[in-house]
Amino acid sequence: MNWRDHITVDPEVCHGKACIAGTRILVTTILDNLAAGMDSEEITRSYPSVSPEAVRATLSYAAALASERVVSFQQ
C-alpha cells in the first residue's frame, strides 16, 4: 500500500496538516478513532468519504513516521 495515494498535505487545506485525499478529514482524526477502539467499518460509516483503503493508509503513514526517518510527500 502506498499511503501517498490516500493522504495529502496542502498548505491551503487544514493549515497544511495531513488529510485524507479529497477531504478535510485529518489523518489524526482517523488515527485517534483507531486508538479509541473503532474499527475500519465504524470509521467509514462515521466518515462516508473515507474508504477502508484510506483508513489503512493512515496506519502506513503513522508507521513511516514512527520509523524515525524523513517522510517525503514527493513521489
What is the domain-level CATH number for residue 11? 1.10.10.10
- Asked whether residue 9 is assigned to any structural domain, the reply reads yes
Distance set, CA 18 to CA 14, 25, 46, 58 (Å): 8, 9, 19, 10
- Asked whether residue 29 is assigned to any structural domain, the reply reads yes
Mean pLDDT of 26-42: 97
Report the percent of the chain where pLDDT is more than 90: 83
The set of long-range contacts for 40-47, using a CB threshold of 8 Å and a minimum separation of 24, is: 47/20, 47/23
Residue 70: what pLDDT?
A: 67
- What is the residue range of 32's domain? 3-65
- Asked whether residue 42 is assigned to any structural domain, the reply reads yes
- Asked whether residue 74 is assigned to any structural domain, the reply reads no
- Asked whether residue 75 is assigned to any structural domain, the reply reads no
Residue 1: what pLDDT?
A: 80
Mean pLDDT of 18-30: 97
pTM (two decimals): 0.86
